[in-house]
Amino acid sequence: MMMKTNGERQRLENVYWMARYAERALLTLNVAQNYLGYGLEASEENWSSCWERIKKGLRISRCPADFSGKIACCFFFLVFDPDNSLSAFSSLFSARENAKVLRDWLPLALWEELNSAYFLISSTTASSSNLPSSLYPFLRNILERLLLIRQWEDYLLEEDCLWAWLKIGESLEKVGNGAAFFSAYHPADNKDPFPFEEWEAFLSSLFLLDLVKKKIPLHELSFEKIASYMFELSLYSYSFPSQLNKILHYMELLSGQWAMETAQAKTNELLTKVLERAKEGFGAESTKKLFLDIQIECNQIHQYLLSALD
């Protein structure tokens, strides 16, 4: 097993965190864009309950209590608020700080898009807080820049260890975020049916809408039918099994250089659990615990990965 200097280990941590923070920013921005239209049209009661699901889905535990029905305040908190460590602004700031260390490795275009997205959001903070309808083009602009980063990643060599760490961080964040959002919509905690517009926002936020529209008539949408796509190995590149398989692939590339055995074993256990659940269906109360387990186990894998660098 190859020994790494402190500087090399630090670079590996930087690319891992850059990927996770960029993925978090992408999710938050996509949620903001897709729920904005529904929020502007929804009744105060519907928006208030929807906002609670958004907070749970984004794993936001602390939030000012006095603006739950004020949509402008909600979206400022999600997108711009520097005091919210999970806002898109905070995530992009952290992604950019980690990327600075990698300037000699990152493709110039990737760095420029990340840098541009950060400065765009930081320079628009004050003017956009009270004008939620003006957020549409703004959010679209930043999202396009972050999605371009994914395209530029394809120019990196898959054998590069930094690339592998980047993809592990991105996919691990994606799995944990997806599990949290599905947990927020679990029928055990939501007895009343959702308006179709909220289902649409939910699906779009997870890049599921186009796929689901091809497979399920919109009037037949249900949690169970939608969840089935997140547990299918072959149908959907964002599914839990697909992402976990990607993580295992990149762990294998790194296994000759770092002590990845524990992280690999834990990821394999989680993949097995996910595939077994897919065979059992999604209507049972136990699925609520499953989504929580996925989040917890992703955090454990994260700790094992960072320990592997020591």
DSSP, res 220:
G
pLDDT at 137 over 90: no
Here the tokens at position 215 are 């497979």
Q: How large is the average pLDDT for residues 181-190? A: 90
pLDDT at 57 over 90: yes
Top-ranked range on mean pLDDT: pick from 67-81, 134-148, 180-194: 180-194
pLDDT at 2 over 50: no
User: Does this model's pTM top 0.85?
Assistant: yes
Distance CA 141, CA 135 (A): 10
Boundaries of domain holding 294: 157-310
Q: Which of 141, 172, 169, 186 has the alpha carbon at shortest distance from 289? A: 186
| Same domain as 12, residue 68 | yes
4-8, 162-166, 218-222, 256-260: range with lowest mean pLDDT: 4-8
Q: What total number of domains does the chain contain? A: 2
Which residue among 132, 155, 178 closes a domain?
A: 155
Tens-digit pLDDT profile for residues 272-298:
988 887 777 766 566 788 899 999 999
| Same domain as 234, residue 249 | yes
Distance CA 85, CA 94 (A): 10
| Same domain as 249, residue 302 | yes
Number of Cβ within a 10 Å radius of residue 278? 18
pLDDT, mean over the chain: 85
| Same domain as 223, residue 140 | no
pLDDT at 310 over 80: no
Q: How large is the average pLDDT for residues 240-253? A: 92
pLDDT at 158 over 60: no
Handedness of CA 170, 299, 212, 47 (dihedral sign): negative
Residue predicted with more confidence, 246 or 285: 246
